[in-house]
Amino acid sequence: MNQGQRMRYIKTGGIVALVLFVLYYLLPGSTPSVGKFPGGDVASDPSVGTAKCTRSYSANKPLIQYALMVDAGSTGSRIHVYRFNNCGPTPELENEDFKMTATKEGGSGLSSYDSDAEGAAKSLDMLLEVAMKNVPDKLKGCTPIAVKATAGLRKLGPEKSNAILKAVRNRLETVYPFPVVSEANGGVEVMDGKDEGVYAWITTNYLLGKIGGPDKNPTAAVFDLGGGSTQIVFEPTFAQAKDGGMPEQLAEGDHKYKLSFGGRDFTLYQHSYLGYGLMAARENLHKVVIDNMHKANPDSNAWLSKPVLNPCLIPGTTREVKVPLGEGHALGTSVTVNMTGPTTGSAPQCRAIAELTLKKEEKCTIAPCAFNGVHQPSLSKTFSREDVYLFSYFYDRAQPLGMPESFTLSELKDLTARVCEGPKSDSKAWDVFKPIDGAIKELQGRPETCLDLNFMVALLHTGYEMPIDREVKIAKKIKGNELGWCLGARYVSLEISNRLTNIDMSLVFPFSAKKVDGSARLARSHRRSSMIAFWFFGSRRCLHISVHCTLRRSRKRIDLVGFDLDSRSSHDLVMSYLLHSQIQRVSLLLCYFSSLRRLMSAYGHVWLLYGYL
Q: Which one has a higher pLDDT value, 501 or 188?
A: 188
How would residue 539 be classed by pLDDT, with cut points 50, 70 and 90? very low
Q: How far is CA 95 from the centre of its chain?
A: 19
Q: What is the pLDDT of residues 411-454, one digit of tens each?
A: 999 999 999 999 876 678 999 999 999 999 999 989 999 999 99
How would residue 521 be classed by pLDDT, with cut points 50, 70 and 90? very low
The 8-class DSSP code of residue 479 comes to T
Do 255 and 248 contact (CB within 8 A), yes or no? no
CA–CA gap between residue 439 and residue 203 (Å, rounded): 29
Instruction: Give the Cβ contact number of residue 593 at 10 Å.
Output: 13
CA–CA gap between residue 52 and residue 50 (Å, rounded): 5
Residue whose C-alpha is closest to residue 231's, from 256, 204, 198:
198
What pTM did the predictor assign?
0.68
For residue 98, pLDDT over 80 is answered with yes
Question: Would you please indicate which residues are annotated as catalytic (active-site) residues?
Answer: 196
CA–CA gap between residue 321 and residue 255 (Å, rounded): 35
pLDDT of residue 35: 52
pLDDT of residue 249: 85
pLDDT of residue 415: 97
**CA dihedral for 345, 105, 166, 157, sign (positive or negative):** positive
67: helix, coil or strand? strand
- Provide, rounded to the nearest whole percent, the portion of the chain with pLDDT above 90: 45
DSSP letters spanning 176-189: --SPBPPGGGTSEE
pLDDT of residue 51: 86
CA–CA gap between residue 125 and residue 477 (Å, rounded): 25
Considering 62-76, 317-331, 404-418, 497-511, the range whose residues carry the highest mean pLDDT is: 404-418
For residue 114, pLDDT over 60 is answered with yes
pLDDT of residue 42: 79
How would residue 605 be classed by pLDDT, with cut points 50, 70 and 90? very low
Q: What is the pLDDT of residues 572-604, one digit of tens each?
A: 333 333 333 333 344 444 444 555 544 444 433
pLDDT of residue 522: 32
Helices and strands of the chain, counted as H and E runs: 18, 21
How would residue 7 be classed by pLDDT, with cut points 50, 70 and 90? confident
Q: Which of 312-316, 399-403, 489-493 has the lowest mean pLDDT?
A: 489-493
How would residue 105 be classed by pLDDT, with cut points 50, 70 and 90? confident
Cα end-to-end span (Å), the chain: 46
47: helix, coil or strand? helix
CA–CA gap between residue 348 and residue 459 (Å, rounded): 14
Do 94 and 85 contact (CB within 8 A), yes or no? yes
Bridge partners, residue 266, by sequence: 259
For residue 544, pLDDT over 50 is answered with no
Residue whose C-alpha is closest to residue 579's, from 558, 548, 552:
558
Tell me what the pLDDT averaged over the chain comes to: 77
The set of residues, in sequence order, having a beta carbon less than 8 Å from that of 567 and lying 6+ positions away, is 173, 180
Considering 147-156, 381-390, 554-563, 602-611, the range whose residues carry the highest mean pLDDT is: 381-390
- Provide, rounded to the nearest whole percent, the portion of the chain with pLDDT above 70: 74
pLDDT of residue 608: 35
Instruction: Give the Cβ contact number of residue 591 at 10 Å.
Output: 22
How would residue 482 be classed by pLDDT, with cut points 50, 70 and 90? confident
Q: Which one has a higher pLDDT value, 499 or 154?
A: 154
pLDDT of residue 60: 76
Residue 171 carries which side chain, given as an amino acid letter?
A: R
For residue 50, pLDDT over 70 is answered with yes
The 8-class DSSP code of residue 56 comes to -
Q: What is the pLDDT of residues 169-208, one digit of tens each?
A: 999 999 999 999 888 888 898 888 778 889 899 999 988 9
Which phi and psi (to 5°) does residue 572 adopt?
A: -75, -5
Average pLDDT over residues 341-353: 94
Domains of the chain: 46-191+485-493 (3.30.420.40), 239-276+355-476 (no CATH), 512-612 (no CATH)
Average pLDDT over residues 235-254: 76
E-assigned strand segments in 542-591: 542-546, 563-564
